Amino acid sequence: MSMPFYVPPEQFMKDRADYARKGIARGRALVALQFDKGIALVSENPSSTLHKISEIYDRIAFAGVGKYNEFDQLRVAGVRAADLKGYQFSRQDVDARSLANQYAQILSQVFSEAPKPMEVELLVAETGLTKENDRLFHVMYDGTVLDEHRFSVLGGDAEDVSSRLATVFIDDASLKVALQSAISSLGGSERKLVNTDLEVAVLERNGRRRCFRRIDDTELAKIMA
C-alpha cells in the first residue's frame, strides 16, 4: 500500500491562493469610488444581462469579479440574507459590514475545506447619510475583509488600476468627474474604453429609501463626451 504524499500546510494554502488569484486575474478590473453625492461603481462588462454590479438592499450594492456563476450565487445569498434580516428586525439593521462578514465566513470556509477555492473577489458598498458614513468592504477569495476608503479596485490589473486612480482621484468630485477618472484608470494609456464596454451604477444620497441606480449607455455616453 503506497503512502499518500505529504504536503506542508503552508504549501497547500499557497497553492490554493495561487489558483484563486489566477482565476480572478483573467477578468477585467472593477472600480468603486466616492463622489460628492454617493458611491459610483464601474466595471468593464459589455454584457447587458450578466451583471457584475447589483443592488443588495436599500443603500447597499454588491459587485463581483472572477468566475461569474460563483459570485452570482453569493449575490443571491446576500439578497436573501438582507431581506430576511430586514423582515425579522428592521430595514435600518441591514448594513454592509454584517453582509461583508457573512461573505467572509463563506469564502474562508470554502478556501479551507472545499475541493477548490472560489475564484472571486467581492465588494459590498453602502452609502450613508453623510460621506463619512459611506462604506467600502473588499472581500478577498480567502475571506479576508478590507475596509477601504475613497476608492476600491478589484480583479485583474488591480494594482496598476489603483495606482492610476490614486493620481487622478478628487475628493467630493461630481459624478461626471468621478466616472471619467474611473474609466480612464480602467483603460490606462493604451486603451480607450467606450460606453458599450462598461457597466456603471451608483448609490446616491437622494433622500429616498432605495439609492441604487444604473447608468444606461445613453447617459454614460454624455458623461464620457
Q: Could you tell me the end-to-end alpha-carbon distance of the chain, in angstroms, rounded to an integer?
A: 70
Q: Write down the pLDDT at residue 41.
A: 98
CB 219 within 8 A of CB 212: no
pTM of full prediction above 0.75: yes
Torsion of CA 101, 107, 112, 118, to 10 degrees: -170
32 exposed, middle or buried (CB, 10 Å; 0-12, 13-18, 19+)?
buried
Q: Which three cell numbers stand for residue 225?
A: 463626451
Per-residue model confidence (pLDDT) at position 1: 54
Helix (H) or strand (E) holding 108: helix 96-113
Distance CA 124, CA 79 (A): 12
The H or E element spanning position 146 is strand 145-148
User: Where along the chain do its domains lie?
Assistant: 31-224
CATH no. of 31-224: 3.60.20.10
Determine the number of helices (DSSP H) and then strands (DSSP E) in the chain.
Answer: 6, 10
pLDDT less than 50: residues of the chain: none
pLDDT, tens digit, 9 for 90 and up, residues 144-202: 999 999 999 999 889 999 999 999 999 999 999 999 999 999 998 888 999 999 999 99
Distant-in-sequence, close-in-space partners of 66: CB < 8 Å, separation ≥ 6: 23, 24, 27, 118, 119, 120, 121, 141, 155
